[in-house]
A = this chain, B = another copy of it.
Amino acid sequence: MSPAARVSKVGVLGAKGKVGREICRAVDEADGVELVAEVDQDDTLQTLVDTRAEAVVDFTHPDVVMDNLRFCIEHGIHAVVGTTGFDDERLETLRGWLADAPGVGVLIAPNFSIGAILMMRFAGQAARFYDSVEVVELHHPDKADAPSGTARRTAQLIAAARADAGLGAAPDATSTALDGARGASVDGIPVHALRIRGMVAHQEVVLGGPGETLTIRHDSMDRASFAPGVLRALGAIGERPGLTVGLEELLDLA
């Protein structure tokens, strides 16, 4: 395998899961890549070697993903990973394995939604220009956590950008408030969570200064929204040896 080739033969790990099935369909329909292996929990990883897979997409489970990745790295197969549960220790382990496998690329990404990534990035870039900023997220009412992980990360990025720019707290003359009216504070940024039947996953960042406001909104209506991000990652991973954390690193954002 040449170290910087664009991959074309792709295997999917966790192929029968909800996300996995979408990924299989997307790889199957996309130009330039070919779905050569659909691996789920009762299947052997050897299939990847037999089918000459050049890269895998892994949406499996924290319990098995490290074994999957060791196998892939040892066999020179790139990996695009959406499975959760990567802490610093796991990332360090991966770096160690990859040091022995020059040319192999692994991407670990908590979020493959390009829209969510752009929303966070734009919110971070705009934050230093505005006096005020708050985050509103809206999800289906079966969600267990409030606010969402994406909303928390967005608020943290905004708070860091404001701190870098030397901005203090946003103006707020509230002196009489009902409990909770002003939302949760994440690093000082108010975050509001709505739970509405019929919604899927939506987020709005509202920024304002004298006489104007800027609103960045992301609406995710369907699991299909992960597919373009995975395909972009597959298009880039062959030319990105070593460990990459976060899809944004592969998007060539200015």
Q: Given A196-B206, A198-B211, A178 and B184 touching (CB < 8 A)? A: yes
Give the segment of A33-41, A56-64, A140-148 that binds chain B.
Answer: A140-148
State the copy count for this chain: 4
Contacts of A171 in B (CB 8 A): 141-142, 195, 197
Q: Given A129-B114, A177-B193, A225 and B254 touching (CB < 8 A)? A: no
Contacts of A223 in B (CB 8 A): 211
Within 8 A of B (CB), among A178-193: 178-186, 190-193
Q: Is A198 a contact of B208 with CB atoms below 8 Å?
A: yes
Give the segment of A7-15, A80-88, A98-106, A131-139 that binds chain B.
Answer: A131-139
Contacts of A1 in B (CB 8 A): none
Q: Is A143 a contact of B174 with CB atoms below 8 Å?
A: yes
Report the nearest B residue to A142, measured CB to CB.
B173
CA distance A251 to B220 in the complex (A): 31
Q: Which listed residue (B113, B182, B215) contacts A180, Cβ 8 A? A: B182
Q: Given A178-B184, A180-B183, A224-B210, A197 and B130 touching (CB < 8 A)? A: yes
